[in-house]
Amino acid sequence: MRKVAFHTLGCKLNFSETSTIARMFEQRGYIRADFEDTPDIFVINTCSVTDNADKKCRSLIKKARKISPNAFVLIIGCYAQLKPKEISEIKGVDAVLGAAEKFRMFEILGDFTQKESVQVCASEISQAQDFNRAYSYGDRTRTFLKVQDGCDYNCAFCTIPLARGNSRSDTIENILKSAHEIAESEVKEVVLTGVNTGDYGIINGKRETDFLTLIKALDEIQGIARIRISSIEPNLLTDEIIEFVAASQRFVPHFHVPLQSGNDRVLQLMRRRYKTELYADRVAKIKQLMPDACIGVDVIVGFPQEDENAFLSSYHFLNELDISYLHVFTYSERPNTKADSMQGEVPIAIRRERSRMLQILSDKKRQAFYRSQLGKTKTVLWEQEVKDGKLTGFTENYVKIATPFDPTLPNTLQKIALTEIQNDGCVSANPMIHKELTTL
């Protein structure tokens, strides 16, 4: 019985695919093991959004070889699609599979035995036409359910269309089937994932349906307590979607809406499909219907031609928005993107300083949001991990709660009253109902 270990870099979509591939191994008689548990096979699912993601992959390969010198090391994911030859030259790699090949690994690699040379199978991204169903299971208290893959947007900074191909979606029938399977497990929360989730509906190259139709269907699934939308572009976040979530039984008041820049000139350079006016309108609409909603924002600093005035206008725009936290990315040059050939490079030191400023702003926004929730009653889903004798969890509107460990709490939903913000940034709470809430 051979042991196989997995490590996932990057997004929730990668986690859903890794988990599905792990189940494929288990169905064939392999034993899933921890990365440190001297496995016979390592599968590393990579990201390539930034240069740092590439470096992490290299570090993991080195770590794997140190743990199990004779193990078979397989690299899949975005980095594998973009730079298969480069990866194949890293000492310790046995195989590299691209986007169109990763779900065919058993067919391509057979019994995962080492050959004289590295096995590389990464066809052109145009060959990645199929939609491979995926959802995570057994790893966390929530499931990441893949509903969409690929992207047609071609933003100037992004390699994802090159790594994952064109936008394509699963059918509603298949997604509901997966959702029913999840509902029969002990999972309490489902997170909908994709590269461009709001673009859901392109099936076999044609637009057959849309995201609103999908979420209406999912809202009828019995046995799932909460459904969360992982990320959605502002130009695809319609009034109808916001209004539906506000009235929904299961969809929670938490939106993650990428902005990337709060300056219209930079947005145009980035090839984004909206202006700041539309973004501000989306935030206002959410807060009008769901005053307690949590709104997260992606933002990039140091994009080419982002001068001091552009950055400050972006900073002030974010400061004025009624948002809850930021995910700040320092711009990283990526080969074969439009931005990589642009003039007006921002020095690394300035990029880092701007990133630091926005991280501080994010902390202030999160604290202000948490303070606005004190004294209110919410529902927390307790996580399974214990740290420093404490259990943590998240409310429906994504407030992080901490409480002394209680073995009866993990993976349960509990009504709580939010009381105060602790030194670690979490919120403490008093339980309103001690027993687990019934899943609808």
Does position 378 have pLDDT exceeding 70, yes or no?
yes
Residues shown for the chain: 440
| For residues 386-404, average pLDDT | 93
Using 50, 70 and 90 to split pLDDT, how confident is the model at 141? confident
Does position 438 have pLDDT exceeding 90, yes or no?
no
Gap between the Cα atoms of 332 and 335, Å rounded: 10
Of 242-251, 301-310, 401-410, which gets the smallest average pLDDT?
401-410
Q: What percent of the chain has pLDDT over 90?
A: 87
Does position 419 have pLDDT exceeding 70, yes or no?
yes
62 with 94: CB under 8 angstroms? no
Does position 78 have pLDDT exceeding 90, yes or no?
yes
The pLDDT of residue 436: 55
State both tokens at 409. 């709490």
Q: What is the pLDDT of residues 171-216, one digit of tens each?
A: 999 999 999 999 998 899 999 999 999 999 999 999 999 999 999 9
The pLDDT of residue 440: 45
44 with 74: CB under 8 angstroms? yes
- What is the residue whose two structure tokens read 């459904």? 227
The pLDDT of residue 439: 47
Phi, psi of 161 (to 5 degrees): -60, -30
| Residues contacting residue 343 through CB under 8 Å, at least 6 positions apart | 304, 305
The pLDDT of residue 55: 84
Using 50, 70 and 90 to split pLDDT, how confident is the model at 437? low
The pLDDT of residue 434: 52
Phi, psi of 148 (to 5 degrees): -150, 155
Gap between the Cα atoms of 168 and 392, Å rounded: 36
Domains assigned to the chain: 3-127 (3.40.50.2300), 129-252 (3.30.750.210), 257-372 (3.30.750.200), 377-431 (2.40.50)
Gap between the Cα atoms of 61 and 103, Å rounded: 21
Gap between the Cα atoms of 309 and 354, Å rounded: 12
Does position 138 have pLDDT exceeding 90, yes or no?
no
- Residue of 252, 293, 299 lying closest to 279 (CA atoms): 299
State both tokens at 297. 């924002």
Using 50, 70 and 90 to split pLDDT, how confident is the model at 241? very high
The pLDDT of residue 157: 96
Q: How many CA atoms lie within 13 A of 136 on its CB side?
A: 22
Of 34-48, 241-255, 319-333, 425-439, which gets the smallest average pLDDT?
425-439
| Residues contacting residue 78 through CB under 8 Å, at least 6 positions apart | 10, 46, 47, 48, 49, 99, 159, 160, 163, 164
Does position 277 have pLDDT exceeding 80, yes or no?
yes
Does position 264 have pLDDT exceeding 50, yes or no?
yes
255 with 295: CB under 8 angstroms? yes
Does position 435 have pLDDT exceeding 70, yes or no?
no
Gap between the Cα atoms of 252 and 229, Å rounded: 8
Using 50, 70 and 90 to split pLDDT, how confident is the model at 137? confident
Average pLDDT, the chain: 94
Q: What is the pLDDT of residues 185-194, one digit of tens each?
A: 889 999 999 9
Using 50, 70 and 90 to split pLDDT, how confident is the model at 49? confident
Gap between the Cα atoms of 31 and 95, Å rounded: 20
Gap between the Cα atoms of 78 and 321, Å rounded: 33
Q: Is residue 439 packed enough to be buried (19+ CB in 10 Å), middle (13-18) or exposed (0-12)?
A: middle
Question: C-alpha angle with apex 44: 43 to 45, nearest 5 degrees?
Answer: 115
64 with 74: CB under 8 angstroms? no
| For residues 354-380, average pLDDT | 97
| For residues 313-329, average pLDDT | 98
Estimate the crossing angle of helix 172-183 against helix 211-218, to 10 degrees.
Answer: 30
